[in-house]
Structure 1
């Protein structure tokens, strides 16, 4: 019986320690479960944070797309305005081409800024160097045909070829009664293709070189428009206001007033 006593003690010790071991195992399982829950919760939070960040990025992209769409529509509207303006002027020119009014070089008529009619050249120069009529009946006809050819190219929408044709006309006939109009349409060829610096220079040449031309008001209007397109708001406002003061009651003045109102609406 004495020999069995140690065994009994060992068994008793095991029985006593078993619940503690089980308790430790159970506590370990709970800790593992809590760690798993924390890990899952942290991953979920990171996922939610990432989703929120993606939503913000999508909203920002949508806003950028809307801004770009608005800017594109503004550019399209400006382009349509350019083409409509040229088309209107060419239609006026065509409607007046059947019975054009005579324009005396150096004379400026009231309201002439609205006229796109082709001036009528005499069939020959008025006088020769000694005061007699010079016998050159084909000079005026040749100028008129060359000018008309350049204008036809412009009507067809071949703007750079039209610019070359008008420039060639001006080089060949710098003192022609058509010169002011040719210079204006040369500038218009660059304007409608949005080559604004070149157009600005060419329209300025209309004002400087042909101050009595019936195209001066239109040229100054376009100078104001070009400053607007180049976002030089102060220069645009200054030139447009000058057109309204200098040419009241004309189409150029009305268009200048409309653009001034647009500047005001846009906060410039």
Structure 2
């Protein structure tokens, strides 16, 4: 009997390590699967966080770009307001100076016993014309600032022709030229700028008008005429910012 059981015992003993090996392999595969799942979960979580960060970054970028656009619009509006304020101040200073000169002349005439020259009615009409021109110019420039270029051009052209002898006229001609340029009408812009320079050579915008003319001529491929315009600017208005820019352009030509 013992001899019969011995082979079975030996077979059982030999079989045990095999079962243990199979168990170890299953456990190993299970642990590897768990580790892989954990790793994939971590990767998915990290990707989700990255996507969230990218989404927030994109939203932030859009917000920043929007804020920059609003700031640019505000800057443009402020520049426009500054332009109007500067014009009004210049107009007011001129009127004050004219009144002072007129009053001083009248007082001198009274002191010297000489009838005072000048016509009070004429002075009153001149002051009224300046005031009307200033109001019309502000309305026209407001259209330009709002981007309503065609209505602005019509209004600015009317100011420059109807109030040709006022302080508003050269300002209107300058922005009329700018409106033409923005609409792609280079020739029309050149005409307006030239009217300003020829008719109001002492005006503060005359150098800027020549600078704009030279730039337009360059854009139109007319380098020879542009060089002539820049030389005119440097000669006629030395030391101005526009003349300094013209000198830089001449070096490139």
TM normalised by structure 1 equals: 0.51
Structure 1 unaligned blocks of 5 or more: 1-83, 104-117
> Number of aligned pairs?
162
Aligned residue among 171, 181, 186 for 1:181:
171
Q: How does 1:54-203 map to 2 (within 5 A)?
A: 92=79, 94-95=81-82, 97-98=84-85, 103=90, 122=95, 131-134=118-121, 135-136=124-125, 138-203=128-193
- Once residues 238 and 120 of structure 2 are traced to their aligned partners in structure 1, the CA distance between those partners, rounded to angstroms, is 40
Q: Distance in 2 between matches of 1:177 and 1:227?
A: 27
What corresponds to 1:19 in structure 2? none
| Higher share of residues assigned helix | 2
| CA distance, structure 2, for counterparts of residue 120 and residue 89 of structure 1 | 26
Q: Does 1:247 align with 2:237?
A: yes
Gaps of 5+ in 2: 1-71, 103-116
CA pair 169-246 structure 1, distance change in 2 beyond 3 A = closer
- Counterpart among 199, 208, 221 of residue 231 in structure 1: 221
Residue 190 of structure 1: how far off its partner (Å): 0.6
**Post-superposition offset of 1:172:** 2.0
- More relative contact order in 1 or in 2 (CA 8 Å, sep 6+)? 1
Question: Secondary structure at the residue paired with 1:122?
Answer: helix
Q: 1:222 to 1:146 in 2, by over 3 A?
A: same
TM-score by length of 2: 0.53
